[in-house]
Amino acid sequence: MVFVSFVHVLSAAFLMGFVAAAPMGPVNMLAIRRGMIGGWRHALACGIGSVTGDLILFSLVLLGGHYLFSDLSNPTLQIVLAAIGVIVLLPLGIYFLVRAVKEPLRAYASARQHWDESTVPAHLVAEVADGAALTIFNPLTIAYWVGVTSNWLPFAHSVLGYSAPGWGILMAAAGLMTWFTALIVAVRFIPHRIGPIFFRVVNAILGLILLGFAMFCAIVLYRHFLH
C-alpha cells in the first residue's frame, strides 16, 4: 500500500510537470517557430528556458508550503488547499477543452504568417532567456502551479514527509523535459505533422488531465464535509 501511494505521488508530480509544459501557448509557439526555421537546437534552447522558469515557480510555491508542513494534517488547512485546487484547476481544464473544440487557432495562423528567418536570434542564450521570461511572467502558469501544488503537497507530505519537495521538483522536471523532448523530436523529424489538429488534440488532453486534478480536489472536499 505504501509503495502504491509512493508511485501515485511521483506519477502526479510527473504529470504536473508534463501538463505545465504542454499548453499550446507563447512558449511552445516560440519553440516550434524557431525550431522549424533555425533547427532543433533553437527549440531545445526555448525548452531549457521554459523548464527553468516552471521549476522556479514550482519551487517558490513549494517554499511557501514548506512553512505549512507542521499544519498539513490540519483538516481545515486541507479543506482550504483542496478548495484552491478546485477554484484554479476547474476553470483551467474547461478553458483548454473549449480551446480544443472552438479555438480557431488564430495564434498558430498568425505565427505561420510571421515565420521569418530574421526573427531567429543568432545566440541560443537569448532563446533560453525568452523561454524563461515567457513562462515566469505568464499569469496562467502562475495560477496553474498554485492550483496543482495545493492539490499535490498535502498528499505528498503524508507519504514522503519532508522529502516531498525534492521528489516533487525531480519528477516535475522529468515531466517538463519529457514534453520538450517530444516537441524537439517532432520539430526535427515530422514538422509537417505540427498544425491545428495537433494543437487541438494536445489541448483536449490537457483539459481532461486538469479536470482530473480538479475532481481529486473535489473528492477531498466532499470527504471532509461528509465527516
Cell readout for 205 is 488532453
The residues, ordered by sequence, that sit 6+ positions from 195 with a Cβ below 8 Å of its Cβ are 108
Cα 83 to chain centroid distance, Å, stands at: 20
The pTM (predicted TM-score) of the whole model is 0.75
Q: Digits of tens for pLDDT over the chain (227 positions)?
A: 667 788 999 999 999 999 899 876 778 877 887 887 778 888 899 999 999 999 999 998 887 766 655 565 667 766 777 787 788 778 877 877 776 666 545 555 555 555 555 556 667 888 898 889 888 887 778 888 888 887 788 888 888 888 888 999 999 999 999 999 999 998 888 877 777 777 777 778 777 877 887 887 788 788 777 66
